[in-house]
A = this chain, B = another copy of it.
Amino acid sequence: MTAQRERIGQPVDALDTPVLLVDAALLERNIEAMRALVLAAPGRNSHAAVAYRPHTKSHKSPLIAKMQIAAGARGVCCAKLGEAEVMVAGGVPDIHITTAVVGRSKAERLMRLAAAARVSVVVDDTENVAALAAAATAAGITLDVLVEVDVGQARCGVQGVEQALAVTDAIGRSRALRFRGLQGYQGRLQSIVELAARRTAVTEAMDKLTRVRDALESRGIACEVLTGGGTGSLPLDLEQGVLNELQPGSYVFMDSTYRQIDWTARAERTPFANALTVLACVVSRPLAERAVLDVGWKAASSDSGPPVLKSSGAAIEFAGDEHGIIHGAAAVARQVGAKVELIPSHCDTTVNLHDAFHLVRNGVLEDVWPIAARGRSD
């Protein structure tokens, strides 16, 4: 997993494995496809035209964040403060942090960041609001905050109007905090395969969000930004027009899970292509029908199942930290030393295992990009 810069210009099969590959042309195509989709969408909601703020949890790279911004994105999302610090250090000017920043030390780090770039963060707890207000006041910063609403994920977020009002009241008590709007994200519906079932789930989630928005606005609390959504909900978020800022992440790379979902009612797939693979090598073939690869839990994430062969879509079997197995007829043609490309089941967590992207164009290693925010969950 070390960066192999000395191999730039050589065929990708020359790389020592396992190594994370990015098809440079497909990455560029995915970023352009998102620009075309979102910026071509009519501004149907009552607030503003739809903007997009891609989630960097999928790539953890300031270089790719800046490509997204160059393609019309308003800014980016980061899952954690530590990731946001890496993005700002890498020259990204506008970041929304999609999880709460808790604790005095982190609040102080957040204020240092907000002094250096445009930064917003979600809140869902009155004591956390008070802590951020104290840190912002001490730093002489005005911090943008959005209230996270639980729209069905059953994780973080205010549970309804009453909690939302308690949190917005707490925000209103500090001149160092500026209420910007609401975040409503439902991760579990993103991978519902059938479009109609996903539409029902998106509608339910957006109903929860608009209930809170309407209650706040009826009290004169303007919700300028309604942010959320993902790669799976994208066509429905555009159709429904509730969100005015979209947070798709996985579209830059895609993975075997997202590639399965229908994009239209005719079961057509998404306009995004699998740009991310793990290059593996056959390291043992003790039986004709068992080819053992050098990719296990350390080189491909397992939270969403094993990776699949790029050539056929068939899943491999995980066989420990360092191994995966191709079984059956698919193994027969593969000799020890043969290279095999695998598509991860979950791009975010697979990227988090590696230190670098190896950019490939026309089969040749073009560049090596550090995954600068890898491991920055802090």
Contact = CB atoms under 8 A, between A and B. Distances in A.
Interface of A: 1-2, 14, 16-19, 57, 79-80, 82, 99-100, 102-103, 105-106, 109, 124-125, 127-128, 131, 150, 153-159, 163, 187, 281-287, 290, 292, 294-299, 301-303, 318-323, 325, 335-337, 348-349, 352-355, 375-378
Given A80-B322, A154-B290, A155-B319, 14 more contacts: A1-B377, A16-B109, A19-B378, A57-B322, A99-B323, A128-B336, A150-B286, A155-B292, A156-B284, A296-B377, A298-B352, A302-B303, A353-B353, A354-B375
B353 A352 contact: yes
A102 B336 contact: yes
A302 B302 contact: yes
A187 B320 contact: yes
A290 to B, nearest CB: 8
Contact of A294 (B99, B318, B352): B99
A79 B321 contact: yes
Nearest to A14: B105
A287 B281 CA distance: 48
Contacts of A285: 125
Contacts of A323: 99, 155-156
A286 B156 contact: yes
Contact of A377 (B287, B322, B377): B322
Nearest to A355: B375
Q: Which 5 A-B pairs have the closest CB atoms?
A: A156-B284, A1-B375, A297-B303, A302-B303, A102-B283
Contacts of A282: 102
A156 to B, nearest CB: 4
A28 to B, nearest CB: 25
B103 A284 contact: no
Contacts of A325: 155
A102 B292 contact: no
B102 A322 contact: no
Contacts of A2: 82, 376, 378
A82 B355 CA distance: 13
A103 B281 contact: yes
A284 B127 CA distance: 11
Contact of A1 (B57, B82, B128, B155): B82
A319 B99 CA distance: 13
A373 to B, nearest CB: 10
Contacts of A318: 303
A127 B337 contact: yes
A150 B292 CA distance: 13
A166 to B, nearest CB: 11
A376 B321 CA distance: 12
A128 B284 CA distance: 9
Contacts of A102: 281-283, 294, 336-337
A361 B239 CA distance: 56
Contacts of A109: 16
Contact of A349 (B125, B127, B287, B297): B297
B348 A158 contact: no
Nearest to A319: B155
A298 B377 contact: yes
